[in-house]
Chains A and B, each alone.
Chain A
Amino acid sequence: MLTLTDTARDQEAEKPSEDAKEYLAFTLGREEYGIDILRVQEIRGYEPVTRIANAPEFIKGVVNLRGTIIPIVDMRIKLNLGEATYDQFTVVIILSIAGRVVGMVVDSVSDVTTLKPEQMRGAPEVGTAFDSDYLIGLGDLGQRMLILVDIEKLMSSSEMGLIEKIAA
């Protein structure tokens, strides 16, 4: 029995399932979220931003990322999760979305997890701060559960107001 399971596991390890995807896990308040690792450019500490006048509160402002000016959004404010405090432990995930670069403030980043299709669960109708439009589903990691977010869709949504909609 034991050998059989082992072999099965080995085989799985050898041929990485095409459907398995890697997710970056981060926390907002007490919830743990996952986003497609391929959208993540880098992870940085929080640095002072330049405020943009009359912008929504969750758009903290803009910073200089090696010569390019990028907006910083605080998901904690946007989703009303956790305390929006800024100290040396505050983390900014720099995302590369649709050719644009955006910084996202989160409480902490935990790890990078590979999720296989069988670990994915459908998105619940209620229960998260996200509009279910932007949810891919839930990732079951035994002890933990990741809320998987379609970060590209979320960040380019008009709700975030990061990208100017082309006038129809």
Chain B
Amino acid sequence: MTIDMSQFYQVFFDEADELLAEMEKLLLALDVNAPDSEDLNAIFRSAHSIKGGAATFGFTDITEVTHVLESLLDRIRKGEMALTTEHVDAFLASKDVLAMLMNGHRHGEAIDHDAVQNVSKRLNALSEGGPVAAVSAPAAQQSAPAEKTVPTADADGNFHFRIELPAVPQKDVDALAAELGLMGTLTRDSLPDQRAVFNLVTSESQDTIVAICAFVLDPDALVITAAGPSAPVSAPAYELYEQVPPPASAAAPAPAAKPEPVAAAPAGETKNWGRRATDKEGGNAESSSIRVSVEKVDQLINLVGELVITQAMIDQRISALDPLLHERLMNSANQLARNTRDLQEAVMSIRMMPMDYVFSRFPRMVRDLAGKLGKKVEFVTRGAATELDKGLIERIVDPLTHLVRNSVDHGIEMPDRRRAAGKNESGRLTLSAAHQGGNIVIEVTDDGGGLNRERILAKAKQNGLAVSDTMPDSEVWQLIFAPGFSTAEVVTDVSGRGVGMDVVKRNIAAMGGVVDIRSVPGSGTTISISLPLTLAILDGMLIKVGEEIYILPLGYVVESLQPAPVDVKEIAGQGKVVKVREEYLQLIPLYQIFAIEPKSADPSQGILVILESEGKKAALLVDSLVGQQQVVVKNLESNFRKVAGISGATILGDGGVSLILDVAALLRSSRQLNVDTLCF
């Protein structure tokens, strides 16, 4: 039985990703002048846990970078060295290198070996600035950042290991001997204190041995010694550098860029191998959560959706019964309804994730950007605990990244200009999230120069957009979402190519959200994104045309009314308009679009639902309103195809299917229709 370790890789990567993110967050929050020792400890633990995991899985390159990092961190946290900004920068750089190495292992992405070397050098250089006692070991690392600390193979490609077991029951020793025996030639021996010692000649690596032993005993208690024909080159004194620093000169002969480097461990040098990734110090938080695949959660949500529908069916059937005769049945049904609702809420909340997931990646980006542009930016987040559907949270990252970059690049001014304007030299960028009804509102606010109305209008005219000088501000601001629009004076590598804002708007619209801009010249800009909390459930208005029931997403509905016959006017014998509060709205007869036999084609006999999308309003003519309810959105395309004017479907209480109208498309296509009519 050989254990395939690769099945655990994903767990390690996921965990390491989290640890790296955590590390970065802590590093950014660190006050260089008065670092909090708890934070330092936490950073150290993160590095240490990654190192442990990487060692277990044999990712030697990761182990080595983390090792140098950890050593440096260790000394800082012990107060042997003072923390400087240089340190923080170097740590952040090494975090990037680690992430790169991780991706290299995970997806086979290219690894920039120079970057790895640079970071090692940088860390080592910093170490050298400290007490002499610790210089040599990291220095040894420097020249051989990718070296594997495996013993030299003998002529047959075999390694010689001496494995000292801790005190374990005899049957475990036997079991281990049998397992290890499969790997090569094993001889058993025992120490004076009855502990067992194996001598193993094998072609497998030390990691494999540790991995096998880990199932029976604590690998920390294992002492594995590489014995055998080793070359007299001193290896990096890995993990024990405080104890025996080898001479600094040892670094020199180690060849730096061997593709499959082999460093010899001198006989008798012992190491503690294979700390498990869930380190005793670092792994406490894990026990309170479990990892579940998104598919499983989605399946659960689907099933609960089914349950809600079934429950609605039962309700409908029961309502036809005599309440006096079936009182107890009705009580039970009410109970079921309550429980179902609670269950649905609880299940939906599984998909919810805090906005922190998105926000946490920005401090670093803002810091780097501000540094590159020579600006000073103070970054603040608010409401990071606000929760949003996981599907949406992943899709909001890109638009939000773009907006934050824009704010740093265009919004916040250079320090001298800020000073001239009587403002604080360092700009303030605020990222906030808050719930508002069924929506989440995410805002990117800067206290920069604000949008320049004149320049936007000039640029719009230049681009041939239909604008007038008397447009309200809100409409002018919306112009920056037009494709190819950029008001930046200089195109920088940060932003200003004019691609982006239109994409931002499109992406957000695709999520069912809207973008709004507020800007005051001289005091800053706020870009506000409003998104529905989840895509899986929608507040719908049920409408009836003929015998068919359709659903209108409530978000688009402004009001509904029964028009007076005089308010409906015909234009050119084709389209109709309706006057609502001194405003003429285009009338869209749903029966005509969907070829339904209506109860009455006369608008004054039906109901007009005023819809608003993308700033355009129109009146939809329907026969009657049925009611409002939350519906579970089902995809029509998974088994069928896209249908014009329909955005999805849902299952009603009676088990029948009802189609959800695509309001934005309806308004668009009806406009199109009018343009076509005009052309003829």
Question: What is the number of residues of chain B that contact chain A, defined by CB distance less than 8 Å?
Answer: 29
Of the listed stretches A6-14, A107-115, A157-165, chain B binds: A157-165
Q: Mark B659-671, 1 if CB is under 8 A from A, else 0.
A: 1000000000000
Question: In the docked arrangement, what's the CA distance between A123 and B530, Å?
Answer: 60
* Identity of the chain A residue whose Cβ is nearest the Cβ of B596 in the assembled complex: A53
Q: Using A50-B659, A54-B595 as known contacts, say yes or no to A67 and B305 having CB atoms under 8 A apart.
A: yes
Our pick among B306, B644, B649 for the contact of A62 (Cβ within 8 Å) is: B649
> Does A70 reach chain B (CB closer than 8 Å)?
yes
* Identity of the chain A residue whose Cβ is nearest the Cβ of B303 in the assembled complex: A67
B313 to chain A, nearest CB (A): 11
Q: Mark B625-642, 1 if CB is under 8 A from A, else 0.
A: 000000000111111111
Our pick among B305, B548, B595, B639 for the contact of A69 (Cβ within 8 Å) is: B639
Q: Mark B303-322, 1 if CB is under 8 A from A, else 0.
A: 00110010000000000000
User: Are A64 and B655 in contact, CB atoms less than 8 angstroms apart?
Assistant: yes
User: Are A164 and B641 in contact, CB atoms less than 8 angstroms apart?
Assistant: yes
Question: In the docked arrangement, what's the CA distance between A85 and B379, Å?
Answer: 69
Q: Using A64-B655, A64-B657 as known contacts, say yes or no to A53 and B641 having CB atoms under 8 A apart.
A: no
B544 to chain A, nearest CB (A): 13
Question: In the docked arrangement, what's the CA distance between A69 and B305, Å?
Answer: 13
User: Are B594 and A54 in contact, CB atoms less than 8 angstroms apart?
Assistant: yes
User: Are A69 and B649 in contact, CB atoms less than 8 angstroms apart?
Assistant: yes
Question: In the docked arrangement, what's the CA distance between A63 and B643, Å?
Answer: 15
Complex interface: chain A residues within 8 A of B595 (CB): 53-54
> Does B658 reach chain A (CB closer than 8 Å)?
yes
* Identity of the chain A residue whose Cβ is nearest the Cβ of B591 in the assembled complex: A53
Our pick among B639, B642, B643, B645 for the contact of A100 (Cβ within 8 Å) is: B639
Our pick among B596, B634, B646, B655 for the contact of A68 (Cβ within 8 Å) is: B634
> Does B437 reach chain A (CB closer than 8 Å)?
no
A92 to chain B, nearest CB (A): 14
Residues A58-78 near B (CB distance < 8 A): 61-64, 66-71
* Identity of the chain B residue whose Cβ is nearest the Cβ of A163 in the assembled complex: B641
Complex interface: chain A residues within 8 A of B309 (CB): 67
User: Are A162 and B659 in contact, CB atoms less than 8 angstroms apart?
Assistant: no
> Does B352 reach chain A (CB closer than 8 Å)?
no
* Identity of the chain A residue whose Cβ is nearest the Cβ of B309 in the assembled complex: A67
Question: In the docked arrangement, what's the CA distance between A163 and B642, Å?
Answer: 9
User: Are A69 and B643 in contact, CB atoms less than 8 angstroms apart?
Assistant: no
Q: Using A48-B656, A53-B596, A62-B657 as known contacts, say yes or no to A67 and B302 having CB atoms under 8 A apart.
A: yes
Question: In the docked arrangement, what's the CA distance between A51 and B638, Å?
Answer: 17
Our pick among A53, A70, A161, A163 for the contact of B594 (Cβ within 8 Å) is: A53
B647 to chain A, nearest CB (A): 13
Question: What is the number of residues of chain A that contact chain B, defined by CB distance less than 8 Å?
Answer: 25
Complex interface: chain B residues within 8 A of A161 (CB): 641
Q: Mark B175-199, 1 if CB is under 8 A from A, else 0.
A: 0000000000000000000000000
A10 to chain B, nearest CB (A): 45
User: Are B639 and A71 in contact, CB atoms less than 8 angstroms apart?
Assistant: yes
* Identity of the chain A residue whose Cβ is nearest the Cβ of B632 in the assembled complex: A67
> Does B651 reach chain A (CB closer than 8 Å)?
yes
User: Are A62 and B636 in contact, CB atoms less than 8 angstroms apart?
Assistant: yes
Q: Using A50-B659, A64-B651 as known contacts, say yes or no to A70 and B643 having CB atoms under 8 A apart.
A: no
A70 to chain B, nearest CB (A): 5
* Identity of the chain A residue whose Cβ is nearest the Cβ of B635 in the assembled complex: A69
* Identity of the chain A residue whose Cβ is nearest the Cβ of B649 in the assembled complex: A69
Q: How many A-B residue pairs have CB under 8 A?
A: 70
B303 to chain A, nearest CB (A): 8
> Does A148 reach chain B (CB closer than 8 Å)?
no
Question: In the docked arrangement, what's the CA distance between A52 and B644, Å?
Answer: 10
Complex interface: chain A residues within 8 A of B641 (CB): 161-164
Complex interface: chain A residues within 8 A of B657 (CB): 49-50, 61-64, 69
Question: In the docked arrangement, what's the CA distance between A62 and B639, Å?
Answer: 10
> Does B3 reach chain A (CB closer than 8 Å)?
no
Question: In the docked arrangement, what's the CA distance between A61 and B655, Å?
Answer: 15
> Does B471 reach chain A (CB closer than 8 Å)?
no
> Does A151 reach chain B (CB closer than 8 Å)?
no
Interface centre among B640, B644, B646 (most CB of A within 10 A): B640
Our pick among B302, B548, B640, B651 for the contact of A51 (Cβ within 8 Å) is: B548
> Does A101 reach chain B (CB closer than 8 Å)?
yes
User: Are B636 and A69 in contact, CB atoms less than 8 angstroms apart?
Assistant: yes
Residues A73-107 near B (CB distance < 8 A): 100-102
Residues A98-143 near B (CB distance < 8 A): 100-102
> Does A55 reach chain B (CB closer than 8 Å)?
yes
A47 to chain B, nearest CB (A): 9
Interface centre among B305, B595, B646, B659 (most CB of A within 10 A): B659
Interface centre among B302, B635, B636, B644 (most CB of A within 10 A): B636
Question: In the docked arrangement, what's the CA distance between A52 and B658, Å?
Answer: 10
> Does B593 reach chain A (CB closer than 8 Å)?
yes
Complex interface: chain B residues within 8 A of A51 (CB): 548
User: Are A69 and B596 in contact, CB atoms less than 8 angstroms apart?
Assistant: no
Question: In the docked arrangement, what's the CA distance between A55 and B636, Å?
Answer: 14
User: Are A70 and B306 in contact, CB atoms less than 8 angstroms apart?
Assistant: no
* Identity of the chain B residue whose Cβ is nearest the Cβ of A97 in the assembled complex: B639
User: Are B639 and A164 in contact, CB atoms less than 8 angstroms apart?
Assistant: no
Question: In the docked arrangement, what's the CA distance between A64 and B645, Å?
Answer: 20
User: Are B593 and A53 in contact, CB atoms less than 8 angstroms apart?
Assistant: yes
User: Are A52 and B643 in contact, CB atoms less than 8 angstroms apart?
Assistant: yes
User: Are B593 and A71 in contact, CB atoms less than 8 angstroms apart?
Assistant: no
* Identity of the chain B residue whose Cβ is nearest the Cβ of A66 in the assembled complex: B306
Our pick among B305, B635, B645 for the contact of A53 (Cβ within 8 Å) is: B645
Question: In the docked arrangement, what's the CA distance between A163 and B636, Å?
Answer: 11
Q: Using A64-B657, A67-B306 as known contacts, say yes or no to A164 and B638 having CB atoms under 8 A apart.
A: no
B632 to chain A, nearest CB (A): 9
B594 to chain A, nearest CB (A): 3
List 18 extra interface pairs beyond A50-B649, A52-B646, A67-B309, CB under 8 A. Answer: A50-B656, A50-B658, A53-B594, A53-B645, A54-B595, A54-B644, A62-B640, A63-B657, A64-B651, A64-B655, A64-B656, A68-B639, A69-B635, A69-B636, A69-B649, A69-B657, A71-B640, A100-B638
Q: Which residues of B are at the interface with A, using a C-beta cutoff of 8 A?
A: 302, 305-306, 309, 548, 593-596, 634-646, 649, 651, 655-659
A sample of 24 cross-chain residue pairs with beta-carbon separation below 8 angstroms, ordered by A number, consists of: A50-B656, A50-B658, A52-B640, A53-B593, A53-B643, A54-B644, A55-B643, A62-B636, A62-B640, A63-B657, A64-B657, A66-B306, A67-B302, A67-B306, A67-B651, A68-B634, A69-B634, A69-B651, A69-B657, A70-B640, A71-B639, A100-B639, A101-B639, A163-B641
4 tightest CB-CB pairs across the interface, nearest first? Answer: A53-B594, A50-B657, A164-B641, A71-B640
Q: Which residues of A are at the interface with B, using a C-beta cutoff of 8 A?
A: 48-55, 61-64, 66-71, 100-102, 161-164
